Structure 1
Amino acid sequence: MIKKWTARLLAVALVASALTVVSIAADDPRPASAASGADFDPGNIISDANFYAAGSMTLDNVQSFLNQQVPSCRASSGPACLKSYTMDTFTRQDSGARCGTYPGGPGQSAAAVIYNVAQICGISPKVLLVLLEKEQGIVTSSAPTAYMYRSATGYGCPDTAACDAQYYGFFNQVYGAALQFKRYAATPTSWSYQAGRTNNIFYHPNASCGTKPVYIQNQATASLYIYTPYTPNAAALANMYGTGDSCSAYGNRNFFRIYTDWFGSTTGGGSPYGYVDTAAAGFRQVTVSGWAVDPDSAAPIRVDFYVDGRGAASTVAGNDYPSLAGVLGKGNTAHGFSANITGLSAGRHSVCSYAINVGTGVNTLLDCREFVVRTGDPFGYVDSVSASAGSLTVKGWVVDPDTADPITARVTVDGRQVSSQIASGEVPGLPAVYPGWGTRHAFESTVTGVSGGSHRVCVQGVNVGAGSTVDVACQTVVMASGAPSLFLDEVSMGSPGKLLVRGWAIDPDTVDPVRVHVYVDGALSTKVTADVSKASLATAFPGYGDKHAFSVPVAGLSAGTHSVCVYAINVGAGGNAVRCAEVAAPTGSPRLFLDQAQGTALGQITVRGWSFDPDVVDPVRVHLYLDGRLVTKVTADVAKASLGTSFPGYGEKHAFTATLTGVGPGAHTLCTYAINVGGGGNTVDCRTVSAVTGSPSMLLDEVSSPSAGAVLARGWTIDPDTVDPLRVHVYVDGVLQTKVTADVVKSSLGTAFPAFGPRHQFSASVAGLAAGQHSVCLYSINVGAGANTVVCSPVTVR
């Protein structure tokens, strides 16, 4: 977004003032220096280190700075001065994850808004203060207007249109500007001005004023140009606190000038900055963590800690702090610190953390935090209370603030002590929350003999030192009692005469498996113990284990519907649990499926498939009819493994294969009948099946030379597309010698191919051949589909 250009000048020169920075030694205000046009570098208006130094000011620093700019506000009917301005804000999350979550709340001060936005977006509070001043002069105004607050940072105010109303308001303006700077940095190549290259930057909105080639050296400078897209000309720089000429633009000049006046060099080093994340009190100690960096050095710096105004500890901020990568670069994140300050007395304390300066600048007070070193009553936590038949298991931890040693944990039920033990088990995560006490404070206690019903279970930490023995946590626990829980997972008859009953049963009064009785049609059929493992039961019923399932097979049932009742036999209070279900034995017509039904050879059709009758496990009979005529009967008793899987209880021996012979040419009606047993009727599958078609079949019985100069060829040939005799052509050495018809009777053909008859034999003689080796080829002339069939044989002629 490009904000609206402004040529507004301050009516009077800004009076330079310093931000007081507290050091360990004493207050050491940094003197401000008047900005000079000779120092303005258009390619490096401000360094990245200074621009993104979110920790360069604390909230107190920001408020103090605002107080100094306007010691007293001029009475008016308008808004309060910025130092006194408050507003209600709301929690806000950037959908693009450029900034963190803003902590909204009622009556937040302007200083709090500036500071909070700086922290969540990683932008220096100094930059936001300078931006507010160079846009509206609101920081130094003793009588700000509503417009100044409405468009405080010029965000959403383009050169070519009025400001966008959706961005009105001080909070929206500060947050929107900081978020926009983060967008620029996150997608640096998406904008017209980019760091690391020469950019032609306009002097003025009036294009006739020309441009200046500027090599932008860093992202912070690029971001300022994207936000305010003009560079000051020589006239503007020659009069840093006044006006230039008609081609002068002042936005980025004023940013440089105000920052220099208020905070010193925009590109040089300065005082260290950082942030205190936590000050966690523990056993006679406090652990302080955060990060600190000095702009004059990439090396880790020292951080000193004062407790109640007295020096207490010192450390080097050299720990890896990954989130600094977005501000300082991926290779410059070793600036985290964590210091453990021990030997503290009980009570309230204050710890102040100072970043020790390197080079120019002064030591920086990062933050002061109040904390309380505990004393008095023990404290702790109950992680879980699990109940099973007559017993309770309580797990948790207890700590006494006056000792790091394990203390005694007592468990009471309804006010009566039932167990006592030293809580010395491991709690690995405890030191992270309660430093100094160590990890040996866990306990686990199992109490037996607890009656059914509601009970108040409490854990006491036995006091050491100051304080008294107290309940650290209590829970109300209901102990189960009464009749067993019973559930049937399956009641089915998957095959004739066989019943399967599966389920589980648990009696709340015992962890042992219970007895289960199965009744069929009112008569006791079997008794079992529900002791089969089922993992989910241990999860659903903690303390009872997983061995409470059962699986009961019942054989020998007749066809029809049966009533099945399952009883879980009660132990202790309550009575037996019962669940009943009706189940029908499978019955009906056979199932039949054909895997294959087709012509497979001359005069043959092959049929393969499977069939079983739900009323029996035995193989069924299968009858095959061709063109309305029964041609064969088979038994479906061939093994097929997938049937045993698909139809458990029936086994795998229900497949069949049948070969039908004597099948003539053309299409035929094939009907396959599965013969019914019991309820239902026969199952039939009828379909049209075509006989084999194609080229003739031919076999040579003899090729010989019975006399000088003669050859005799005998054999037979049948075309699957006709029952008529075929023509046969005889070639010798590639020359046609004779043609005959294969119409001689051969009785075996009538037997082998009854549909075609016996008249398919031939005998052919060729005379007048020269003595010696010859090749004899016989061609069976095709009818219908296919092609001629040729069979050749060598022969030696006498």
Structure 2
Amino acid sequence: MRKVRLRAALAAALTTVITTGLAVLSAPGPALAIPPECDVPQQPSSCTGPIHHDPEGELRGATRVPGGVRVTGWATDADGGPVAVALRIGQTEVATLTADQFSADLGEDSFNRVIPAVAGTSVCATARNIGAGTDVEIGCVDVAIGFEPFGSLDELALNGATLTVRGWAIDPDTAEQIAVDVFYDSELVASLPAGVDRPDVAQSYPAYGGVHGYQVNVAAKGEGYHTVCVRGRHFQGVGGPEQDTQLGCRSYSVRHNPEGVLTTVERIGRNVYVRGYASDPDDSWTGVTVRVTVDGVVVRESRTEHNKYYFSADFAYIGSPGEHTVCVYALNLGLGTDILIECRPITVPWAVAAPTMTIGEVTSTSVEVTWTSTDPNVVSFRVEHTADGAWGPVGTYPQWQHSQRFDGLGVHTPHCYRVMAVGYFSEASSAAICVTTPDAS
């Protein structure tokens, strides 16, 4: 414990008399006059006494608390006490208190009080001098002194169709709970008091207690990227400007919709081959149903292979000549919506052109039929025959073949022929030509 005040009393009573080398106590008297140059904490070597008249002390701490700023420290003066201590925040003097308390860690002549708060970043203390001497600044403490709410958006928890928002909020002007507003993609979705007990907050801010938490469930939005922000509403206190404060924002993304890739859409003849991959985050076991449309009309549904995501959705198609649009959709499972994977065009060729047919060499038992065609959509030729008016096929030939000899015919009999150009989606006939086999010579 400090003995400064005892030291001052002894200094006033002690007179040193050098008599035969002995120090003798005399009766108490007034304090010794000290030259001004010696009345400083760090005396020059020419000064012989350790005693000065300026106060001394320490500003030990400054903490923002409800209703102001709590300051702690001590101050004494050799000329008596208790000492008045002036407190200022920034350049504004806000209070004067007396160092007349006792505390276990600071001893006598200490102070532990709440002073009014004004906006600033530091608190400084000046001990006022008693008697001879001058005032002394006994320290400054850096502390942010604000008036707006502060806190945190700690967590967003998505559970199915529910989004839970958790955090805490404090207004420095009060230990009471304040209100918070929750914004979901800039839309106000909830207002509630921050009144949930939070022991961790109490540990960090003991002057305010722990009943400053908030937790609220809101309806979760669907597919996409979302942002949640929480705003603390200010408490109408005194000492500085106040406004609502954003406590934090958090973003998250939701994916419930299926997704897929279309790798193949190919028309070969009258068949269209569709291949690709599809999956749904809500169900990887069942498989995803894939729907195929042509010009908006459903033509096929298929399911991905179990746990492999691959699909094959082939279908036969005979449509009008020209371009058509094939679209493939993945049908949603659980939460989410169906999605379009991709659309691609297919082309149905126009009707094939009729070939040109001629009759080649004719004998009494055979006829040679020849034909020509420049249509690239022809895939084969079919030759038909009649001797009595009923047409029937006598042979089908590849697109590169353009003649055929028919043997075993009767002598002096009539025969009619025609050639059909066959495409994937149409057929076209040449003009019929009739001949009569001659007599045998």
More helix as a share of residues: 1
- TM class by shorter-chain length? 0.3 to 0.5
Q: What is the TM-score of this pair, normalised by structure 2? A: 0.42
Q: What is the TM-score of this pair, normalised by structure 1? A: 0.25
By relative contact order (CA 8 Å, sep 6+), the higher-ranking structure is 2
